[in-house]
Amino acid sequence: MIATLASVTLRGLLNRRRTLLLALFGVLIVIIAALSRLSDPSDADALEFTGRLLADFGLAVLLPLVAVIVGTAAIGSELEDGTIIYLLAKPIPRATIVAVKLVVAWLLVAALVAPAVLLAGLVGTSGQADLGVANAVAIAVAGLEYTAVFLALSLLTSRALVVGLAYVVIWEGVIGGLFEGTRIISIRQHALAIADALGGEGAVTAELAAGSALIVGGVITALALVIAVRRLERVELRGETG
Amino acid sequence: MSTLALRGVSRWYGNVVAVNDVSFEVGAGITGLLGPNGAGKTTLLHMMAGFLAPSAGEVRLDHSPTWRRPAIYRLVGFVPEREAVHPFLNGRQFVLASARLQGLDDAEGAAERAIEMVDLRESAGRAIGGYSKGMRQRIKVAAALVHDPPVLILDEPFNGMDPRQRLHMMDLLRRMAAEGRTILFSSHILEEVERLSDRVLVVVAGRLAASGDFRRIRRLMTDRPHRFTVRSSDDRALARELLEHAEVEAVELRDGTLTVRTGDYGALTRAIAPAARRAGASLLELRPADESLESVFSYLVRR
């Protein structure tokens, strides 16, 4: 039952052209890292540039972009085209549906972003694994939080993609930069804190301690899950006509 | 045998009332839910299948409410009106996924039997995206009955089917009903309901307008005043001639259009040709003026 749910979810996500386009963004970060080597920088410069590339493009743009598109589609696309009815017409606890779809979406997000970031880290620093590994792990961990939040969002609004993008750009991009206090509930800052703690060798600077990032991140993920399950239990399907 | 019961059920969206204080019970056999588009049929079916919460009243399946109870789907098979089916699956995968999500022990066997039942074995390997409307309906039915549920709810199951597929589906539903199942289907087409159902529920504008034996409802529907518009080479002479017939209740000639009202549908259609001959007029057109289902239903509601 779970395997079927997971495979239908995964096929649904992979069937969207949008998801496949996201893989191209991963290629882009690797290309940028490779191009940075052309100017033959010193090791310190290369580390600094790659550190900034992974943080400012990998963690700040690539991860939330992929997570918002995949996360809001995991249940949202079926809600939108009405095929969710075939899933809801089954005697499956709604919590199981949310959990399986979250895990599938999360693994897909991690698979689309983490390897590209790892590779970009290797290419940009000519083979030093630490920076790439730290960021890839941070992406995998924070990816769960992002995916959970965007999945819950797709059950709260039919404009989840727009709202999600607005959250990433306005809250994490602008407000997080202006007001330090908001950083504790910024998923991007959670990711940075994890990358920093895993040994970004000074190339990653985080404002938060990894411990508090993990705790707050865990709470937000759990909260998103609870909201998603409650909403899915109460989803109303009207049909097209009266 | 399972029973679906509605008691005082209403449903509104904002300040639009879709279903208004409806009560009825559906038991074993085939029940047809008949009504014009927008009458609230889908809203009713979705409430019965637990996809919508009633705003007031109760929907119960064997004494338990259907809303927010996923466990009912062991007993209920539901065929939605919407065509959307996961386009990346082929027919067999779709039915098999349904069987597995139902947690059936022999999912493969159940899926094959269901596909066989709807006569789609040859096309089961093709992607649903390439199915015709009728095939899509049938694969949806296969998915809904894969777990052999005692209750089957179908929303406009005959939409988009050709006559042969329609007969086949009717046959299938009759067989399932003969096995003691509770089958409820909606339709806006009188003949489908007439041919298939033991019992009819007529819904108009969110209200239950009539329920019970089809013959009685059918009589109510035919024994009503009918209006025809007639075009002929000499409307005035034809009108004079028609007035001689007792079954013609009124004749109106306005803006070059002749309208005839009668209480007896059959008698008028038999009388009009001889009347035209006597009037020396050639009949060009004879058209029922109010044969839309809406007008039939609104007449029923006024009764």
What pLDDT is recorded for position A206?
Answer: 78
Residues of chain A numbered 161-220 and touching chain B (CB < 8 Å): none
Question: Going from the N-terminus, what domains does chain B have, and what CATH number goes with each?
Answer: 4-220 (3.40.50.300), 223-302 (3.30.70.100)
What percent of chain B has pLDDT above 90?
Answer: 60
Mutate to test the interface with A, among B10, B61, B100 (most CBs of A within 10 A): B100
* Res. B292 pLDDT band, cuts 50 70 90: low
Could you give the ipTM of this predicted complex? 0.90
Determine the distance in angstroms separating the CA of A12 from the nearest CA of chain B, rounded to an integer: 7
**Mean pLDDT over the full length of chain B:** 89
Query: Count of residues for chain A?
Result: 242
Average pLDDT over residues B143-159: 95
Q: Is B155 on the interface with A (CB under 8 A)?
A: yes
Confidence (pLDDT) at A241: 53
* B288 and B227 Cβ atoms separated by less than 8 Å: yes
Q: What is the pLDDT of residue A216?
A: 96
Q: What is the predicted pLDDT for the residue at A73?
A: 96
Which is it for strands B182-187 and B29-34: parallel, antiparallel or unpaired? parallel
> Average pLDDT by consecutive 10-residue portion of chain A (242 residues)?
95 88 92 91 89 94 96 95 95 97 98 96 89 95 98 96 95 86 90 87 74 96 98 90 49
* Among candidate residues B169, B146, B164, the one with its CA nearest the CA of residue B30: B169
Query: B73 and chain A: CB distance < 8 Å anywhere?
Result: yes
E strands, chain B, in order? 4-13, 16-26, 29-34, 56-61, 64-65, 76-79, 151-154, 182-187, 199-204, 207-212, 226-232, 248-254, 257-262, 283-288
pTM recorded for the entire structure: 0.86
C-alpha to C-alpha distance for A104 and A124, rounded to whole angstroms: 30
| For residues B63-92, average pLDDT | 93
Angle between helices B163-178 and B133-144 (to 10 degrees): 10
A17 lies within 8 A of chain B by CB: no
Domain ranges of chain A: 2-233
Residues B195-254: tens digit of each pLDDT = 898 899 999 889 998 888 777 776 666 667 778 889 999 999 999 999 888 888 889 998
Asked if A81 and B84 come within 8 Å (Cβ–Cβ), the reply is yes
Tokens 């329609």 belong to: B166
DSSP string of A93-108?
Answer: -HHHHHHHHHHHHHHH
Out of A201-210, B65-74, B121-130, least confident range: A201-210
